[in-house]
């Protein structure tokens, strides 16, 4: 009986991720029986009861649990980042998961959850080891002594029969090899990642390492401030999917009307992001480097290389370069590598308002800080300010009302809203409410941007606002990687190059706009705003974009 229970439990653990993946993807009916479970339980059933065989059983139990965890993690990655887990590169994301948990449920509950996970995994390993340990059959009658052996042989025979495919199609369709499939997937991703490193090095070698020699580099932006601002999780689904568009669409209509009333030129387009569902830094890096950073190894290779980025382009053109990163709560060495003149992370920003779950500070405060803490401070150079907003980060709670800009100050004005809305632990369960909050958070972020432009955008500033990536596919029901881009300026000459590039006037991108990726932006931008080059005639980045080669690791 214990042998049968062990087989059922191990089979359920190994097949669990397969069943979940099929249910989430609405795919074909998966198998019922994991052949590896039959082999493992069968082999252990034939071993004598010895200390070494008992230790082997516990090791096998731990291995089964580890494979199960990796399998479920891969499903989570597929629905949240639109790609499978890659053990070779994704273990480094555990820190981001920890930070997200602390932001959502607080440090004490995160520690409790971590301890609970360790206890559960330990108890499960112990229980599996007990189930899989060979039986003590000495002194038993012949039938009870031989039955487990026959059962073990039968399970091994099932494994062999399944591999030969000599069963009926109906039976064969109920058999699966999830461990082999997972090992093959991870092995393929490891090989792909290794090759990807070589491809990326070749891409870097084929691109200009510096634009410092471009005649009159960014000369059309001399004495102009340029603001590059990312709205978190702002993807094209917010405009195209009715469940989000019913909230975001009217806000964009209002944006267009308010800009027209304020005599601010507005044009919109779209770009293809290098990531989806998370890892915003890949999108930020793609925009400023002119390289396609679709995976962590590519990002790390860029950070390890001394090649220049858009930050250096602006520095060479006489701008002071500043990064405002309110989501970063620890030291950010990448800021030093990217050579910003000044970096403001959350500890550097004088926000004294309440913490808002994962969101360190609301977008309206960040905009206010950019204006009064950055642009209003004495400086003898024009500014390039890169900002990453956070209010529209999952789980999109609380969604705040706007406050009077004159009352923002140090952020204390936001104190009444710290407990607004549903707590994250409820939203993760109620997906309908989660999606509604996602739309409302974008509505808030766009309203904050519109009011900032209306109030503070002067005649000598170009404001570029875009999404960093689409929200997770399980939220948007879409794998579209495109994000909206809005450019605003009072001087039409600053908007015209974007119109020549395929953008159109107003708050909505042209659905028929030529597809362009984030890594094409830097090369086009430098050529469009340098010297007397025509933006309409220059689109060299399209010839540099590497072709898609299989799934991104």
Length of the chain (residues)? 553
Q: Which of 209-216's residues contact partners 24+ apart within 8 Å by CB, and which partners?
A: 209/307, 209/308, 210/307, 210/308, 210/312, 211/308, 211/312, 211/313, 211/316, 211/526, 211/530, 212/308, 212/312, 212/313, 212/316, 214/526, 214/527, 214/530, 214/531, 215/530, 215/531, 216/530, 216/531, 216/532
pLDDT digits (tens, 9 = 90+) for 472-527: 877 877 778 999 999 999 999 999 999 999 999 999 999 988 899 999 999 999 99
User: Looking at residue 132, what is its pLDDT?
Assistant: 82
Q: Please state, in angstroms and rounded to a whole number, the distance separating the CA atoms of residues 493 and 532.
A: 13
Tokens standing for residue 368: 């206010």
Instruction: Give the pLDDT confidence score for residue 195 in this predicted structure.
Output: 79
Region 90-103 average pLDDT = 68
Alpha-carbon gap, residue 296 to 287, rounded angstroms: 15
Q: How confident is the model over 87-113, as a mean pLDDT? A: 71
Q: Is the dihedral of CA 242, 246, 247, 251 positive or negative?
A: positive
Q: pLDDT exceeding 90 applies to what percent of the chain? A: 34
Mean pLDDT value of segment 145-156:
70
- The span from the CA of 520 to the CA of 272, in Å, is 10
| 505 vs 82, more confident | 505
Identify the band that residue 551 occupies on the pLDDT scale cut at 50, 70 and 90: very low
CA distance 324 to 343: 6
Residue 545 has pLDDT above 50, yes or no: no
pLDDT for res 492: 92
Q: Is the pTM of this model over 0.85?
A: no
* Sign of the dihedral through C-alpha 89, 92, 97, 99: negative
Q: Please tell me the distance from the alpha carbon of residue 120 to that of residue 126, in angstroms, as a whole number.
A: 10
- For CA atoms 501, 226, 507, 511, the dihedral sign is positive
pLDDT tens by residue, 203-239:
888 888 888 888 889 999 989 999 999 999 999 999 9
**Domains of the chain, first to last:** 2-190 (no CATH), 207-544 (3.40.720.10)
Residue 198 clears pLDDT 70, i.e. is over it: yes
Mean pLDDT of 164-183: 72
pLDDT of residue 465 exceeding 50, the answer is: yes
> According to the model, what pLDDT value does residue 546 have?
45
Q: How many Cβ atoms from other residues are within 10 Å of residue 112's Cβ?
A: 12
Buried b / exposed e across 483-504, counting CB within 10 Å, b at 16+?
Answer: bbbbbbbbeeebbbbbbebbbe
Mean pLDDT of 41-55: 80
Backbone angles phi, psi at 204, to 5 degrees: -65, -40
Residue 140, pLDDT above cutoff 50: yes
Strand partners, 486: 268, 465
pLDDT given for residue 252 in this prediction: 95
In this prediction, residue 466 carries a pLDDT of 96
Averaged pLDDT for residues 43-69: 84
447 pLDDT tier (thresholds 50, 70, 90):
very high
Q: What is the pLDDT of residues 297-333, one digit of tens each?
A: 788 888 878 889 999 999 999 999 999 999 888 778 8
């Amino acid at each position: 009986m214990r042998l049968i229970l062990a087989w059922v439990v191990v089979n359920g653990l190994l097949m669990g991720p397969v069943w979940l993946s099929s249910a989430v993807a609405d795919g074909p009916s998966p198998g019922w029986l994991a052949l590896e479970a039959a082999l493992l339980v069968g082999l252990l059933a034939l071993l004598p009861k010895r200390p070494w065989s008992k230790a082997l059983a516990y090791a096998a139990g731990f291995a089964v649990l580890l494979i199960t965890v990796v399998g479920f993690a891969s499903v989570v990655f597929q629905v949240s980042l639109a790609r499978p887990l890659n053990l070779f590169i994704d273990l480094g994301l555990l820190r981001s998961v920890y930070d997200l948990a602390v932001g959502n449920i607080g440090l004490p509950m995160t520690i409790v959850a971590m301890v609970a996970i360790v206890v559960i995994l330990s108890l499960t390993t112990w229980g599996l080891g007990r189930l899989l340990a060979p039986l003590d059959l000495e002194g038993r009658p012949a039938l009870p002594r031989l039955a487990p052996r026959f059962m073990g042989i039968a399970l091994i025979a099932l494994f062999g029969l399944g591999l030969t495919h000599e069963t009926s199609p109906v039976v064969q369709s109920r058999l699966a090899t999830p461990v082999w499939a997972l090992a093959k997937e991870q092995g393929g991703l490891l090989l792909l990642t290794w090759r990807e490193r070589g491809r990326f090095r070749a891409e870097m070698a084929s691109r200009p390492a510096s634009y410092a020699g471009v005649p009159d580099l960014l000369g059309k932006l001399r004495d102009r401030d340029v603001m590059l601002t990312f709205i978190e999780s702002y993807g094209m689904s917010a405009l195209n999917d009715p469940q989000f568009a019913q909230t975001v669409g009217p806000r964009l209509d209002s944006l267009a009307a308010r800009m027209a009333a304020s005599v601010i030129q507005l044009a919109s387009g779209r770009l293809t992001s290098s990531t989806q569902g998370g890892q915003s830094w890949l999108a930020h890096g793609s925009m400023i480097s002119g390289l396609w950073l679709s995976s962590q190894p590519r990002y790390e290779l860029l950070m390890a290389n001394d090649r220049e980025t858009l930050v250096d382009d602006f520095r060479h053109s006489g701008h002071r370069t500043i990064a405002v990163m309110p989501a970063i709560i620890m030291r950010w060495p990448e800021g030093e590598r990217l050579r910003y003149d000044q970096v403001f992370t959350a500890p550097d920003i004088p926000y004294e308002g309440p913490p808002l779950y994962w969101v360190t500070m609301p977008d309206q405060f960040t905009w206010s800080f950019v204006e009064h803490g950055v642009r209003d401070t004495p400086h003898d150079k024009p500014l390039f300010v890169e900002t990453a907003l956070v209010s529209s980060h999952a789980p999109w709670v609380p969604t705040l009302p706007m406050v009077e800009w004159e009352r923002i100050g140090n952020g204390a004005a936001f104190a009444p809203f710290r407990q607004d809305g549903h707590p994250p632990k409820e939203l993760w369960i109620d997906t309908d409410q989660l999606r509604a909050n996602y739309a409302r958070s974008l509505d808030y972020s766009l309203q904050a941007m519109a009011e900032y432009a209306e109030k503070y955008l002067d005649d000598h500033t170009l404001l570029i606002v875009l999404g960093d990536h689409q929200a997770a596919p399980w939220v948007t029901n879409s794998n579209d990687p495109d994000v909206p881009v809005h450019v605003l300026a009072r001087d039409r000459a600053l908007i015209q190059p974007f119109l020549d590039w395929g953008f159109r006037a107003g708050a909505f991108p042209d659905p028929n706009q030529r597809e362009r990726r984030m890594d094409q932006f830097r090369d086009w931008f430098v050529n469009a705003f340098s010297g007397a080059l025509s933006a309409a005639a220059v689109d060299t980045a399209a010839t540099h974009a590497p072709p898609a080669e299989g799934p991104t690791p």
